[in-house]
Amino acid sequence: MTWLITGGAGYIGAHVVRAMTEAGERAVVYDDLSAGLAERVPDGVPLVVGSTLDGERVARALAEHEVTGVVHLAALKQVGESVDRPLLYYRQNVEGLRVLLEAVTAAEVASFVFSSSAAVYGLPDVDLVTEETPCAPMSPYGETKLAGEWLVRATGRATGLSTASLRYFNVAGAAAPELADTGVSNLIPLVFEKLTENAPPRIFGDDYPTPDGTCVRDYIHVVDLAEAHVATARALQASPGSALTLNIGRGEGVSVREMIDRINAVTGYHRPPTVTRRRPGDPARVVASATRIATELGWHAKHDIEDMITSAWEGWVHLRPEAARS
């Protein structure tokens, strides 16, 4: 098959492209390069520069490259920004998906994998979040992801398109330094940033009902996440008309304080954190149940927290050599 990977020049997208090609699948990247980097696209993989809102451009790419499956990762993803600019998020994330699906169904593409998020769950009050946990997103970003799932599933029912919605938990790490996340919005790079500024990392609240009082989250290595896409893509190929909704996590929680301690150990900075007040809307614990994907696809995460921090730090230092400790 030939897979069109929207957002394939981004952090996660580049890892999905790499995993797909290493698995013997043919990949084509479709990216507007607003956040992606052209140099992340491997040699031999075509790059089509365009927006998912441009239906004609999408249709041409599908036809010219004889695409038989799509992995859709292109989206805006900053929770805070989505609160300030909801119309932008609904346009890019929902309307862009609608336009893409219209082109996909017109071209009779067989399979569609949608990049969703654990943000669809909102503030789950459960020990492990299963795919059956009620969805109650707390931000326009999470709303657009849930609306995207509905749109994908409805299109599949109406047309026979094989679909999957993958709910990512906290993604970290890198397959190689040059593929590392260049953004500073998730916990690990935020801690890296503070350490290299000679400032203490911040903990937002230490009075949660958790073992050490700080929030607990589930982290997944981006390489494992990418391999989950390959497993999902192949499952859709093997079962036409299927509709999957799957969590992508390790099923293990790590607290913010524990993560900062581990980051200090890997980087060699050993800078104690400072505690500030809670951020509104932060749930105490969000940890995935990874049972369904293990049962249905035979996929299991292989990388641990140490792998995530070490590879992320190598990427950080690759971009900022001055951050390295002597």
The residues that are catalytic are: 141
Exposed/middle/buried for 207, CB within 10 Å: 0-12, 13-18, 19+?
A: exposed
**C-alpha dist (Å) from residue 5 to 55, 70, 101, 224:** 15, 6, 13, 17
The H helix count followed by the E strand count for the chain is 11, 13
Q: How far apart are CA 35 and CA 182, in angstroms?
A: 9
CA atoms within 13 A on the CB side of 288: 27
Does residue 293 sit in helix, strand or coil? helix
Do the Cβ atoms of 281 and 240 come closer than 8 Å?
no
Query: What residue has token string 């500030």?
Result: 276
DSSP SS3 for 283:
coil
Strand-pair category, 253-255 with 216-221:
antiparallel
List all residues 6 or more positions away from 182 whose beta carbon is below 8 Å from its beta carbon: 11, 37, 319
Determine contact, residues 2/70, Cβ cutoff 8 Å: no
What is the number of other CB atoms lying within 10 angstroms of the CB of residue 275? 16
Q: Of 246, 227, 229, 247, give the one whose Cα is nearest residue 237.
A: 229
Looking at residue 94, the DSSP 8-state letter turns out to be I
Whose CA is closest to 245, among 296, 298, 287?
296
Give the separation between CA 191 and CA 76, rounded to whole angstroms: 22
